[in-house]
Amino acid sequence: MKRTLLAIAAALFTGAATAAPVEITLARFFGSCDAEFGQVTDPARVSSECGIVTVLTNKFNAQQAGRIRVNTQVVEHSAYYPQLGARIVGGDLPTIAIMHSSVLGDFAKRDLLQPLDGALDATDFTPHARHGVSFGGHVLALPYDSHAMLWHINLGLMKQAGLVDAAGHARLPTSPQALLDQARAFKRATGKPYFVWLTLNDPSFFARSVLGLVNQQNASLFPKTDQAIDLGTPEVRAAVSFMRTVYAEGLSTRNMDYSAALQAFMAGAGGVMPNGTWLLGQLNDRAAQPGNPLSRAYEALPEPTLYARPATWADSHVWVMLRNAKQTPAEREAAHQFLRFLNDESLAWARTGQLPARQSAVDSAAFKALPMRASLGPVAQVGTGLPPTVARQSRVMGLLGETVAAIVVSGEPLEATLAKGQQRINRLLERESRFLAR
């Protein structure tokens, strides 16, 4: 009897020890840095997007050794969505995938996403994050961050122009006219343009700027329905005219793409570079080094409120689970565990420069202790995008940006160009609507 029991125990033990872990796949961009961080499990040792997401995956795999294994499938950023689309069509689905909240609607309308209501506690999500992942009363994704436009400021030049307050912070304008006055004074004092703008090959810069300025006027680019953009409103005309004036008066740099603008800002070519939260880490590092134009003379602030209410463009990285008939309950539960783990590590991801998607993380002392973050908390409250139900948002923003760039940079007539842009965008949305109706 004793021998039999021992044999059963041994068999059970052997069985448990050799049971293969549940394997799930994680499709994402952000690059691959296994060579550098493949063995690291402490997120405090890294600060890049690629590094932190790699280390967090390592940490989860280490914690769940023998039970769950997350296998990462990395795809280049620009090719990510075409590949994901093909994988959905071909039925080769990753268990978890990263997305931007701005494209979530396209997948939600096609009923491709698993609701995560029971798996996650959404009460702690920031307003912007919750808004971005909620469709039809369901939470369809785990929001991972909010990334928004900020003003990256060269305090040395601002001081030279007399545009800093007693505490040494930049004095931000509170109306379009105040901004123009500041920019003119800045140019007179420093001989340099106030803004470092991304005017080449980056239509998203113009689209994001206009979206923020329009929403600040208590208006929307989609005032009546999510099926049709309206670029003929006084608010849109005011925003675009304002940007055109800045450019025409030489108050911004010219002919610069993303890389050139970043180089120019770091070289002290202008006072303010409107760009994303994702640059915080790099520019902080630059400011910490001696002997360059940003040395101890850099700060980042939320975009100023020039009209009635604060609003700034923001998007989110979100994690989704695609509907998959072949998925086992064990895989689903393993994926939920990994998502909860990522949610718990929200603060670690914030070290990349992105803003946490959890309000408790935004309010935490640990977050505020990170460089510049104390003043950036409000961005999580006022971040705004297109209405979530607007289809093909990436393309819509691209077309909007091209339209605005044509007016601001190329000097095309305002009314006619806006009308043409509106026509192009609405034609796209009509096609999409017809496709979904089939």
> Residue 27 Cβ, how far from other proteins at the closest point, in Å?
8
The correct pick among 59, 69, 87, 340 for binding other proteins (CB under 8 A) is: 87
| Cβ atoms of 33 and 55 closer than 8 Å | no
Closest by Cα among 309, 179, 127 to 235: 309
Q: Establish if 100 lies at the interface with other proteins (CB under 8 A).
A: no
Q: Establish if 20 lies at the interface with other proteins (CB under 8 A).
A: no
Q: For other proteins, which is the closer residue by CB, 82 or 411?
A: 82
The rounded distance, in Å, linking the Cα atoms of 15 and 17 is: 5
Q: For other proteins, which is the closer residue by CB, 85 or 162?
A: 85
| Cβ atoms of 406 and 412 closer than 8 Å | yes
Closest by Cα among 104, 88, 92 to 140: 104
Q: Establish if 33 lies at the interface with other proteins (CB under 8 A).
A: yes
**Residues 350-369 vs other proteins: string with x where CB under 8 A?**
--------------------
The span of 24-32, 181-189, 215-223, 323-331 binding other proteins (CB under 8 A) equals 24-32
Enter the tokens of residue 420: 């043409």
The span of 32-40, 227-235, 302-310, 396-404 binding other proteins (CB under 8 A) equals 32-40
The span of 98-106, 111-119, 211-219, 256-264 binding other proteins (CB under 8 A) equals 256-264
Q: Establish if 288 lies at the interface with other proteins (CB under 8 A).
A: no
> Residue 395 Cβ, how far from other proteins at the closest point, in Å?
16
Q: Establish if 282 lies at the interface with other proteins (CB under 8 A).
A: yes
| Cβ atoms of 130 and 113 closer than 8 Å | no
Sign of the dihedral through C-alpha 170, 171, 175, 176? negative
> Residue 426 Cβ, how far from other proteins at the closest point, in Å?
24
Q: For other proteins, which is the closer residue by CB, 212 or 353?
A: 353
The span of 10-18, 75-83, 151-159, 377-385 binding other proteins (CB under 8 A) equals 75-83
Enter the tokens of residue 42: 């402490």
Q: Establish if 90 lies at the interface with other proteins (CB under 8 A).
A: yes
Enumerate residues 6+ apart whose C-beta is below 8 A from 195: 183, 246, 251, 252, 253, 270, 271, 272, 273, 274
The rounded distance, in Å, linking the Cα atoms of 379 and 367 is: 14
Q: For other proteins, which is the closer residue by CB, 182 or 253?
A: 253
The rounded distance, in Å, linking the Cα atoms of 177 and 232 is: 22
DSSP-derived letter for residue 113 is B
Q: Establish if 267 lies at the interface with other proteins (CB under 8 A).
A: yes
| Cβ atoms of 83 and 26 closer than 8 Å | no
> Residue 87 Cβ, how far from other proteins at the closest point, in Å?
6
Task: Give the three-state DSSP class for 312.
Answer: strand
Q: For other proteins, which is the closer residue by CB, 93 or 231?
A: 93
Q: Establish if 386 lies at the interface with other proteins (CB under 8 A).
A: no
The correct pick among 59, 138, 286, 395 for binding other proteins (CB under 8 A) is: 286
The rounded distance, in Å, linking the Cα atoms of 269 and 103 is: 35
Residue type at 406 in one-letter notation: A
* Distances in whole angstroms, Cα of residue 385 to Cα of each of 65, 146, 159, 392: 40, 11, 33, 13
Q: Establish if 435 lies at the interface with other proteins (CB under 8 A).
A: no
The correct pick among 45, 67, 77, 110 for binding other proteins (CB under 8 A) is: 77
Number of residues interacting with other proteins: please give it, by CB under 8 A: 38
Helix axes 329-344, 49-63, angle to 10 degrees: 130
Q: Establish if 76 lies at the interface with other proteins (CB under 8 A).
A: yes
Q: For other proteins, which is the closer residue by CB, 134 or 253?
A: 253
Q: Establish if 35 lies at the interface with other proteins (CB under 8 A).
A: yes
Task: Give the three-state DSSP class for 71.
Answer: strand
| Cβ atoms of 53 and 28 closer than 8 Å | yes
Question: Can you name the residues that pair with 299 across neighbouring β-strands?
Answer: 153
Q: For other proteins, which is the closer residue by CB, 222 or 258?
A: 258
The correct pick among 21, 124, 249, 258 for binding other proteins (CB under 8 A) is: 258
Q: Establish if 49 lies at the interface with other proteins (CB under 8 A).
A: yes
Q: Establish if 73 lies at the interface with other proteins (CB under 8 A).
A: yes
Enumerate residues 6+ apart whose C-beta is below 8 A from 35: none
Q: Establish if 259 lies at the interface with other proteins (CB under 8 A).
A: yes
The correct pick among 14, 174, 218, 292 for binding other proteins (CB under 8 A) is: 292
CB half-sphere exposure, 151, CA atoms < 13 A: 23
> Residue 234 Cβ, how far from other proteins at the closest point, in Å?
36
List residues near other proteins by CB under 8 A: 27, 29-36, 48-50, 72-77, 79, 82-83, 86-87, 89-92, 94, 258-259, 262-263, 266-267, 278, 282, 286, 292
